[in-house]
Structure formats: C-alpha cells, structure tokens
Amino acid sequence: MTRLYRLTTGGKENLVTDEFLTTETTYSEDRVAPFREQTQYTADLDSLGRVLDWVMGDGAERFDDRSDLDAAVAPAVREFVNVPRRAAADEGIWHYLSIVWRPDYVRYRWTLERGNSSLTSLREKFTKSTRDLYAPAFARLWFMADFTKSDGGYRTTEKILKRQYSANRLFDRTDLRQRPVIRAIARVAYDLDDDEFIDDDDVFETVAKAVSHELTTISAESVGVDGMEKLVRQKYDRVTG
Amino acid sequence: MTTHEYSVDTYPYRHAGETVGFDIDSCEIDGQKHELDSSGSPVTLFESDGWSTVTFEVALTVEDETLEYVFPDADDHDGALVVEGYCPSTHGRFVEPIAVRDFGAGSHASEVELNREEFRGLTTLTPRLLRANSRSADDEYASQSGRYLADGPRFDVYFDRPKLSLKGDLPVIPAEFSDSNNPGEPGTEWFVDVRDAETPRLYVNRDYPTVVSAINAIENPTKQGIVGRVVLNHLAVSMLTQFTIKAASHAVAHGEIEYEWQETLLHGLCSEYFTDGTVEELEESLQVEAISDTVSKIETIYQRRRAPHEDVKRLLEVMPS
C-alpha cells in the first residue's frame, strides 16, 4: 500500500501550467515538495497503476470509445483507492494523483490531439474540486463507481459509464447523485431492454429530468430504493405510454 | 447586480412551509461536551482534530395547526419528523427519523450521530415533516410516501474550516480576525486596509464560515450561488464605499491623488458625485456637515451598478500586489 499525499494551497496553481498540459511534463519530488503533505490514508496505487498501464498499452485498442475507458477504470479507482468518503472528498488527494502521480493517464484520456479536449477542459480535469462530478479526472470515477457499486460488484457501474450520455444525465444533476436514486434507475435499466431505456437518449433524459423534478419535494433517502424504483417506473410509463 | 431567472415552486398539495421548529440542544464530540455558539448556526467542529464521532441532541417542534393542515385525518398523522443531512463535498445524504407515525404536536427530541469519516467541509441539517406511507386518494393532500409536508430553518455544520478560494474572482486576503496579528476587528466580516495607501488590501474574516461559504458559491448556478452573489454584492457596496472614503481622505491628507486605485474610484466610478475631482472638492465632501450625505450618495452610486463585486475585483486588480 502506498501512502496518499495531498496537494496544498498553491499546488495546482503553480504546477498546472500550459506547458504541463501540452507536453509530457512530470514533476520531481523536489519540485512538488513545497506543495504536498502526507495524509493518514493509503491506497493500492501499484495495482491501479497496472490497470492504467494496461488500458493505455496492451488493452488500448479495446477502448477507442472513451466511455469504455471510464467504465473499465472507474471500478479500479474505487477499489484500489479504498478510502472513506471524507478522504475521497479531499480534492488535494485527487489533485496529487492526477498532477503528480499519473498526469500521463489524464492527458491520454482527454487528449488534446484530434480536438477531443480543449486546453481549458483538460486543465479542469486536473484542478476541479470533488463537488463537480463532470471534471476532476480520478475523483469523478471514484464517486461514480461508489454510487453505482452494489453487492454484486461493479456491473451497474460498467453499464452506466459505458454510455457517456446517460452517465452525464445522471451525475450532472446534484439531486440524482443519491444511492437510492441511482440504484432504482439501474434496476429499471436492467429490467428493460437497453434500446427501450438506457440507450434511448430522449427517453432516458426525459425520465431523469422528471425524477429530478420529483426530488425537489420528495426524500429519496426516506423512500429507499424500492420507493424510488416505483417513481422511476411511473415516470418511464408516462414518457413511453 | 446580476439577475437570474427564478421559477417559484408551488407545491401541488398542502405544504405548511417553514413551520417545523429545530433546535440543537447539545453537542458532544467523542462523548465530550462541545460548546455551541449561543446563536446556534453555524456549528463549527474544526477547532479540534483527531476525533471520530459527533452527537447532536436535537429537538423538532411541530404545531397542531401544521399537522391539521397537511394530513387529511387529524387523528392519524401518517408522517415522520426527520432531520435530513446533506454534505456537498462527499455527496453524502442521510435521513435521521426523530418521530415516526402517531406523534402529536409539541417537541420531539432525539440524537443525531455523525461519523467524521463520512463528511468534509459543510454539512446541512434540515428538519422536515414527511408523509410516511403512500395513499391512493386524489385530493389536496400529499399522497406519495416521502413527500415534504413542512420544513424548518437549517443548521450548517462545518467539519472543516471553509477555504476562501475565489479563483477568478475577488482577490481578497482570508484572515482570522480573532488572531491579534490581523488588522480586522474580531466579530467583523471584512476589513479595508489602506494603512499603506500604495498597496491597500481587502481582508475577509475566516472566522465567519457562512460568509466565506456564500462568497465561494457565487460561481455555482445554484440557489446557494445566487444567494452568494446577493450577499457579495451587498458586501461589495459597503467595501467600495469604504475604499472611496479612504481614497478621498488620503488625497486630502497628501494634497493630491497619488495612486491609480484612487483615480479609479474618485474620477471613474464616482465621477457622478465628485464632478470636479479636485482635492478641494474631496475635502469639502468629507467635512462633518457633508460626510453623511457623501456616504449616502456614494452608496447609491454603487448600489446602482450591475455587479458591485466585479467592481471590487477590478479595483483590486489595479492595486499593486
């Protein structure tokens, strides 16, 4: 297990330069020393590193679609950085992992080549806080996997993250980022054919939006997964009926 | 001031608004009593480190009138009084039941225990009255399980000291005014420091986490962000007014306008009031018989501006760092 560090004040501001974003720059221990501090947490970064090496190397041709890359890496991030939520919400830890530990993966996933990402967008992958589940490179995967994992493992994580449109419709909405909600939607997604729900962008977005509206006046934690599932089905029936 | 479109939600069923009372009677950290500020919210837990559990003794109060309004049957309150928690940093949410079904009007006490490893930064605790079970009737009362029937004022609990980030916005200096080395007065929210007129500074008190949190939220397209902008614009009007008075005082004392930031305020933003812009005019405006009118007029000028907090930002940008 490897001790986790966090970047402190001034770290991301000093280290995430245009040169850092556009070249293969990696920082030495001395360079980051003024901006880092040790945390009480550890992670299996060797194993996670091997997964990243594989998806960027031998396994690369299987991940032409960047959503497939997220679906493959997210369970590994959650599993090998097995820390409590308090640590997962510490943006300094994620900044350290993306800026100092594996900037190569972040640049690979959001490559500037072929116009896949803008400089601003790539910068945000290194610097955004954990409150934003769209941008921060590793943190977004940790939380998405945490919301979607179940006793059965990461089957749901993979099903949802393979579809970037659907994943964004869920995780961009603050009120849908709740375990009972995500699990209820996953149950319905497994019950229906993919092309009836999770692969039908219009239906999926309309249902997600309708559930989001309901959550302004309903407590998902109180009704639990069963209660939310009824609600999701009700919305689905209304949209498709 | 920046404006945003609001949609005012109206509940499609009987909702009693903010009618649930909420008190935190006591707080213990790892079994040791933790003193709360007499004003209640916010609760700050960041003074001590190395602890694992915080326990709040809470009391939720509901009136007969509320119960009669939101439930179809006055003798059967099929509801639950709960404390709903939300931690934006961890995306964590929880509901702690305080009284479930068959409870009457009055105060209901219970404990809410939170494990520190699940939270970071701000966590909000909101009292709510919910519908417990679904019902089939189609009337003016809520029928779905989990519906909010009434709520109350929330408590803000800070597990960690909020950071003043303001990246891309106000370049202010966060400081703890309770620390004797800082220029601000303890108990105040911000301080305009022009002791060195060449490099004036704007300090914001880190001892006030609510203000810092509101300011930090201004870039978020959320209600908190909108409230943050309103708060920040009100603060900015006062800040700009104080900067302007100090700019004028300094010009009078030195017989000239020496720095660009003074020029920006006196000849730029307030040219409508300081029409000549001469030192003589400034001196006249600061006389005892004129100062009240001067402050009032300057405040009005700043209140009319679209986004006073952006003016503060631009002002600080012309000040040498």
Contacts of B222 in chain A (CB under 8 A): 174
Q: Does residue A71 or residue B316 have the better pLDDT? A: A71
Predicted confidence at residue B217, as pLDDT, reads 66
Distance between A84 CA and the closest CA of chain B, angstroms: 6
Q: Which helix (H) or strand (E) holds B224?
A: helix B223-254
Q: What is the pTM of this model?
A: 0.74
For residues A221 and A210, give the distance between their C-alpha atoms in angstroms, rounded to a whole number.
Answer: 18
Taking CA–CA distances from B127, the nearest residue in chain A reads: A219
For residues B161 and A219, give the distance between their C-alpha atoms in angstroms, rounded to a whole number.
Answer: 28
Q: CB distance B116–A88 less than 8 Å? A: no
Predicted confidence at residue B15, as pLDDT, reads 92
Q: pLDDT exceeding 90 applies to what percent of chain A?
A: 72
Taking CA–CA distances from A175, the nearest residue in chain B reads: B91
pLDDT < 70 stretches in chain B: 1-10, 38-41, 163-172, 209-225, 309, 313-321
Domain residue ranges of chain A, discontinuous segments joined by +: 1-162, 163-241
CA B85 vs. chain centroid, Å, equals 18
Q: How high does pLDDT run on average in chain A?
A: 91
Report ipTM (2 d.p.): 0.92
Residues 76-105 in B contacting A (C-alpha not used; CB under 8 Å): 80, 82, 84, 87-95
For B157-194, the DSSP string reads: EESSPPP---TTS---EEE-TTSTTSSSPTT-SEEEE-
Predicted confidence at residue B8, as pLDDT, reads 39
Q: Which two tokens stand for residue B6?
A: 């609001």
Give the pairing type, strands B122-131 and A36-43.
unpaired
Q: Give me the residue from A85, A178, A218 closest to B144, CB to CB.
A: A218
Query: Which of A78-92, A154-168, B35-49, B202-216: highest mean pLDDT?
Result: A78-92
Q: Does residue A148 or residue B76 have the better pLDDT? A: A148
Q: CB distance B89–A222 less than 8 Å? A: no
Predicted confidence at residue A146, as pLDDT, reads 94
For A78-100, the DSSP string reads: HHHS---HHHHT-HHHHHHIIII
- Assess whether pLDDT exceeds 70 at residue A28: yes
For B26-62, the DSSP string reads: EEEETTEE----TT-PSEE-TTS-S--EEEEEEEEEE
Taking CA–CA distances from B81, the nearest residue in chain A reads: A222
Q: Does residue A31 or residue B182 have the better pLDDT? A: A31
Predicted confidence at residue B1, as pLDDT, reads 30
